[in-house]
Amino acid sequence: MASPDTVAELIARLDAPDHGRWAAQLRRTGGCRQPIHLRGHVLHVDPATGRRLHTYTTATEPGGILRVPCKTRRASRCPSCAETYRADTYHLIRAGLVGGKGVPPTVATHPCLFVTLTAPSFGLVHTRRERGAKLLPCHPRRNARTCPHGRVLSCTAKHSADDPRLGEPLCPECYDYSGSVLFNAVAPELWRRFTEALRRRFAKLSGLTLKALKEKVTISFAKVAEYQRRGVVHLHAVIRLDGPDGPESPPPGWASAEALAQAVQHAVSAVTVTITAADGEPARVLKWGTQLDIRRIAMDGGLTEQAVASYIAKYATKAAECVGALDQRINPLTDLDTLPIRDHARRLIAACMHLGAFDELADLRLIQWAHMLGFRGHFSTKSRHYSTTLGDIRADRTERVRAEAITTGRLPLFDEDTVLVITHWEYVGKGLSPVDALLASLRLEVNPDA
Ligand SMILES: [Zn+2]
Ligand SMILES: [Zn+2]
Ligand SMILES: [Zn+2]
């Protein structure tokens, strides 16, 4: 609820002569929750005469400040910018499946799989289990054993979808918190080794050397990380076979989805990452979980390209949900007990802080990435050949915004080659004042598409 002071200030702002500019700025940031504030100017100069053709300065903006969107991918930080990111990711993934954005439509005929690589178990956790429409008990065990901490390792509850216990261990003392955060920390390296092993295996199945395979087939990837409720990442990946030049070239007939699936199966079970022992912590060998889901992406029903693109785009905007709103780096001196999170997340963060202090594990940078529960990989990545880039999609949009500014007369039409553009920007802060926030929220409620 807005305070009376905020409402009074809002009314004063709406009455002010520059309220139109101010509202327009908020509109341009598209409901961004934490817009970046800039001060500066843009000068268009004729290089021949030195004459100023056009001047834009933030001095004419309300408060002398221009607000631009924060462009975060995190829905928890800024729902509006994350939505833009989600939509861009969707188009990027979809272009790699059916073409568009510079990718030829023939790419749709290339063999393509949707693969989910899972984390292993680090102990029993409360789970929502369903068979069809029927909800099943969590972990029913008739003669369940009792753990060393006196807990019976059975749970007959039928957990509702919003049960906060979901993903939390039956016994926190038994749960392998170190294993969980170490797996997150090495997941990007496991992925890299998986892609290498996949190429090697696919070459072997094709009766070719790796070098000979590269001259005939490109294996392209796009992947996204998804946090499970238990706080460990799974990776979802689109894996596609192309000819030697990427999506423009068809793969040879023998390069089939079946052979690719076989190679995926092998590569997932073959790769490991070894963690060296540290004071009191044993050495470990980490690998993917035994659950592996491989599905064909087909245009004829089944798993459609829209479903895959939506799925990947959705996860691209999420962080570790089990830590809730805590998505900033954690100061190592913070008393973890003061963090507004559940005990399970606190224990995962504590494991990062504990392991991160060992010299042997310094490379994993667990303290810096404690708020991500050890995972420091990119959320969504793709290989060079997969499709277009987020940068190209963004440039496309910027170009459209610029075209709109020109046609509506806000920006003069200059030939870029003959005009000197001098810009100077200065970062002066970010966020919304209480009044800005109130107006932005009103706007969102009244017109969610604005
Ligand atoms: Zn934003
Ligand atoms: Zn349970
Ligand atoms: Zn126990």
Residue 1 has pLDDT above 60, yes or no: no
38 contacts 428 by C-beta, under 8 angstroms: yes
pLDDT tens sequence across 54-69: 777 888 777 888 777 7
Q: Classify residue 309 by burial, with Cβ atoms within 10 Å: 0-12, 13-18, 19+.
A: buried
Pair type for strands 380-382 and 52-57: unpaired
Q: How far does residue 21's CA lie from ligand 1's centre (Å)?
A: 19
Residue 402 has pLDDT above 50, yes or no: yes
Residue 416 has pLDDT above 90, yes or no: no
Q: Which residue has the higher pLDDT, 368 or 388?
A: 368
Average pLDDT over residues 282-301: 86
Q: How far does residue 235's CA lie from ligand 3's centre (Å)?
A: 29
Q: H-helix or E-strand containing 265?
A: helix 257-270
Query: In the chain, what percentage of residues exceed pLDDT 70?
Result: 80
Residue of 342, 192, 345, 348 whose CA lies nearest to 273: 192
Give the tokens for residue 411.
Answer: 């920006």
Q: H-helix or E-strand containing 14?
A: helix 4-15
Report which bound ligand comes closest to the CA of 77.
Answer: 1
Report which bound ligand comes closest to the CA of 71.
Answer: 1
Q: How far does residue 165's CA lie from ligand 2's centre (Å)?
A: 7
pLDDT at 450: 33
Average pLDDT over residues 84-105: 85
Q: How far does residue 449's CA lie from ligand 1's centre (Å)?
A: 15
64 contacts 58 by C-beta, under 8 angstroms: yes
Q: Which residue has the higher pLDDT, 321 or 278?
A: 278
Mean pLDDT of the chain: 82
- The CA distance from 126 to 312, in Å, is 25
pLDDT band at residue 447 under the 50/70/90 scheme: very low
Q: How far does residue 35's CA lie from ligand 1's centre (Å)?
A: 6
Q: How far does residue 323's CA lie from ligand 2's centre (Å)?
A: 20
Report which bound ligand comes closest to the CA of 36.
Answer: 1
Report which bound ligand comes closest to the CA of 153.
Answer: 3
- The CA distance from 249 to 106, in Å, is 9
Bridge partner residues of 292 (DSSP): 117
Average pLDDT over residues 390-402: 70
Give the tokens for residue 422.
Answer: 């001098």
pLDDT at 444: 40
219 contacts 199 by C-beta, under 8 angstroms: yes
320 contacts 373 by C-beta, under 8 angstroms: yes
Residues 6+ apart with CB under 8 A from 412: 44, 53, 54, 406
pLDDT tens sequence across 107-134: 889 999 999 999 999 999 999 988 888 9
Residue of 387, 390, 392, 395 whose CA lies nearest to 222: 387
- What totals of helices (H) and strands (E) does the chain contain, helices first? 10, 13
Q: How far does residue 143's CA lie from ligand 1's centre (Å)?
A: 53
Average pLDDT over residues 159-177: 93
Q: What is the pTM of this model?
A: 0.77
pLDDT tens sequence across 307-333: 888 877 877 777 666 666 566 778 888
Residue 176 has pLDDT above 90, yes or no: yes
Q: How far does residue 96's CA lie from ligand 1's centre (Å)?
A: 27
Q: How far does residue 33's CA lie from ligand 1's centre (Å)?
A: 5
- The CA distance from 34 to 154, in Å, is 45
Q: Which of 182-191, 369-378, 405-414 has the highest mean pLDDT?
A: 182-191
Lowest-pLDDT range of 55-64, 334-343, 396-405 = 396-405
Q: Which amino acid is at 304?
A: T
Bridge partner residues of 112 (DSSP): 240
Q: How far does residue 75's CA lie from ligand 1's centre (Å)?
A: 9
Give the tokens for residue 368.
Answer: 């810096």
139 contacts 159 by C-beta, under 8 angstroms: no
Q: How far does residue 306's CA lie from ligand 1's centre (Å)?
A: 26
Can you spell out the DSSP letters for 133-199?
TEEE-SB--TTPPBPTTS-BS-B-----TT-TTTT-BS-TTTS-HHHHHHHHHHHHHHHHHHHHHHH
Report which bound ligand comes closest to the CA of 31.
Answer: 1
Q: Which residues, chain by chain, have CB under 5 Å from ion ligand 3?
A: 147, 149, 171, 173-174
pLDDT at 69: 79
pLDDT at 445: 38
Q: How far does residue 185's CA lie from ligand 2's centre (Å)?
A: 27
208 contacts 144 by C-beta, under 8 angstroms: no
Q: What radius of gyration, in Å, describes the C-alpha atoms of the chain?
A: 26
Q: How far does residue 434's CA lie from ligand 1's centre (Å)?
A: 16
Q: Sign of the CA dihedral 72, 75, 77, 78?
A: positive
C-beta atoms surrounding 336 within 10 Å: 14
